Structure 1
Amino acid sequence: MKTDKVTDYIVKWLKDYATKAGVKGYVVGVSGGIDSAVTSTLCAMTGLDLLCVEMPIHQHEDHVTRAQEHIEQLKNRFSNVSDVRSDLTPVFDIFKSNMPSIDSTPQVELTLGNTRARLRMTTLYYHGGVNGLLVAGTGNKVEDFGVGFYTKYGDGGVDVSPIADLMKSEVYAIGKLVNVPESIMKAAPSDGLYGAEKTDEDQIGASYDELEWAMNQIDKGHNVEDLSDREQEVLNIYLSFNRRNQHKMNPIPVCEIPSNFR
């Protein structure tokens, strides 16, 4: 990948899109992870307004520290960057307390994690609405079109997706070029939807390098008979997530009424 050219292309694309839409710039939820760091930096590089939003919900301290370090770095580098902190912990707790009390199961924990993401989406659209900004998504290609590792109407609810055609490794390459803090570059990827530190690899069962490899295997149609046991396992993990999460990647099904019924 020609990292410098891709970076310039995305920045210009973001600037042109916002200008045509008649908005002031972008709002980005900053989590302390590489995807939000790269997305927010690219938005800052447009010269348009960028509002970085922290939205902790029982957040792990490492995430908070990295997010704040990144935001401070951006504000020091770019005069068009501002930030706001919306603590959603009490909102989440009140919501949870008003739901029927049920035993904790993996399905309940997943649902609560998705609820956190949807509260953050609502918050980003609030800040975007009152400030005349578009919500810039932070999903990469592996997450958005490979394994569907995001929340429908949560972090999947955005106006634009500037890095969704980039593999995770390409996001890191841009991160290095645009001087994302080293603490973020080295941190294990995590969606931050759970109180304790839980990495994406813990949840998926494969690293992003492995998932990229699997995605390329599918795209290129390589012979699966030549794979090692681990490669076959990773390919099965990828295919399982991809199959289960098609409802996120495809358009919402519409029940089209036959013309002779009208």
Structure 2
Amino acid sequence: MREFNVEDQTKKLIEYTREWFNKFGDNTRAVIGISGGKDSSVTAAILKEALGADRVVGIIMPNGEMSDLADAKMLVDFLGIPNEVVPITDYYNAAIATFEKASAFEVTKDLRINLAPRLRMSTLYAVAQGQPVTSFVVNTCNASEDYVGYSTKYGDAAGDVSLLQDFTVTEVLQIGEYLGLPNELVHKTPSDGLSGMSDEDKLGFKYAQLDEYISDSNADIPADVRESIERKHVANLHKLQLMPAYKRH
């Protein structure tokens, strides 16, 4: 089982974040999508501690009736960071309508689910490019999600810098508590907001089991859970790797 000192790691994470952004200039900004869940909440809080509120731009991107909208607004108000609500509903619906006229592919449930995070990431990069100073998009995925590929390639899996990639869900929760974030945000049941299912329902196992496996591959977890974790990990490794490219010889 790997050790985790929340105070030590949080301080190191804040310092890493400050140093990374400041090497591009002491007014460089961070652009982050705010969903109202634990990962965006903790990441935004780290950014505020590292850079100051005025260098963090929180973007809330509802798609239709976003049940998380109130939580997202609670977070930006709590942190006092500049923010903007940028609905993606119109161009999400326009894209789906265009796709439905196509004959070469089918508009599947998974296509609908993964389209939204890809549009959100495009929006974040547009916001970053529209800033008056150099700005970077911050990824909010954690180690647990990354290990089993529970993210959308070129969607929420994208970004210019990742702050939580080496922390499991269990550790992210501890960081959120240490930073004094509202309990209802830190311990909110995670879901994709589209399928009507929680993350754990879709994965088929608990994050606690996944984190135990990541921390100790010999952990005592059910064989079917172990098999599922290992299968998902292998199938989704491509999301963590650079695009393969032919090298002429």
TM-score, with structure 2 as normaliser? 0.90
- Which residue of structure 2 lines up, in the alignment, with residue 40 of structure 1? 44
Q: Match for 2:151: what amino acid?
A: Y
Partner of 1:17: 20
Size of the aligned set, in residue pairs, is 239
**1:134 aligned partner, one-letter code:** F
Does the 8 Å contact 2:41/2:186 carry over to 1? no
Deviation, structure 1 residue 71: 1.1
Structure 1 residues 76-95: aligned runs within 5 Å: 81-95=81-95
1:73 to 63, 75, 78: 78
SS at 1:164 equivalent: coil
Could you tell me how far 1:101 is from its partner in structure 2?
4.7
| Structure-2 separation of matches of 1:160 and 1:47 | 14
**Amino acid in structure 1 at the alignment position of 2:226:** L
Task: Confirm or deny: 8 A CA contact 1:215 1:238 kept in the other structure.
Answer: no
Q: How far 1:198 sits from its partner (Å)?
A: 2.0
User: Is residue 143–residue 164 contact of structure 2 (8 Å, CA) maintained in 1?
Assistant: yes
> d(CA) in 2 for partners of 1:216 and 1:232?
17
Structure 1 residue 86: deviation in Å? 0.4
| Contact preservation (8 Å) 2:173, 2:187 | no
Residue 243 (structure 1) shift: 1.4
The 3 A distance-change label for structure 1 pair 197 and 66 is farther
Matches within 5 A, 1:221-260: 222=218, 231-258=222-249
What does the per-residue CA deviation read over 1:121-160, in whole Å, with 9 as the maximum and x for residues that have no partner?
011111111113211110111112x101111111111000
Aligned mates of 1:101, 1:210 — CA distance in 2: 43
* Between 89-98 and 196-205, the greater mean CA deviation after superposition: 196-205
Deviating above 3 A after TM superposition, structure 1's stretches of 4 or more consecutive aligned residues are none
**CA distance, structure 1, for counterparts of residue 145 and residue 24 of structure 2:** 27
**Is the 8 Å Cα contact of residues 118 and 154 (structure 2) preserved in structure 1?**
yes
Task: Tell me how far 1:59 sits from its aligned partner.
Answer: 4.3
Aligned to 2:10: 7
- Assess if the C-alpha contact under 8 Å between 1:60 and 1:197 holds in 2: no
Structure having the higher Rg? 1
CA distance in structure 2 between the aligned counterparts of 1:13 and 1:158, rounded to whole angstroms: 16
**For the Cα contact (< 8 Å) 2:34–2:40, is it kept in 1?**
yes
Q: CA RMSD in A?
A: 2.0
CA offsets 1:67-113 (integer angstroms, 9 cap, x no match): 111111111xxxxx2001100011100111011358xxx98111221
CA 1:247 to 1:43, structure 2 compared with 1: closer, same or farther past 3 Å?
A: same
Q: CA deviation at 1:191?
A: 2.7
More divergent stretch after superposition (209-218 vs 159-168): 209-218
Distance in 1 separating the partners of 2:9 and 2:149 = 24
Decide which structure has greater helix share.
1
Q: How far off its partner does 1:58 sit?
A: 2.7
Task: For residue 213 of structure 1, give the secondary structure of its aligned residue in structure 2.
Answer: helix
Which amino acid is 1:52 matched to? G
Q: Percent identity?
A: 26
Displacement, 1:202? 1.4
CA distance in 2, matches of 1:58, 1:178: 31
Task: Trace 1:1-262 onto structure 2 (pairs within 5 A).
Answer: 1-22=4-25, 24-48=28-52, 49-61=55-67, 63-75=68-80, 81-101=81-101, 108-131=108-131, 132-144=134-146, 146-192=147-193, 194=194, 197-218=196-217, 222=218, 231-258=222-249
Q: Is the 8 A contact 2:99 2:107 kept in 1?
A: no
Q: Work out the CA distance in 1 between the residues paired with 2:70 and 2:187.
A: 14
CA distance in 1, matches of 2:5, 2:212: 20
Inter-CA distance 217–164: structure 2 relative to 1 (3 Å threshold): same
SS of aligned partner of 1:84: strand
In structure 2, list runs of 5 or more residues that go unmatched: none
- Displacement of 1:215 in angstroms is 2.2
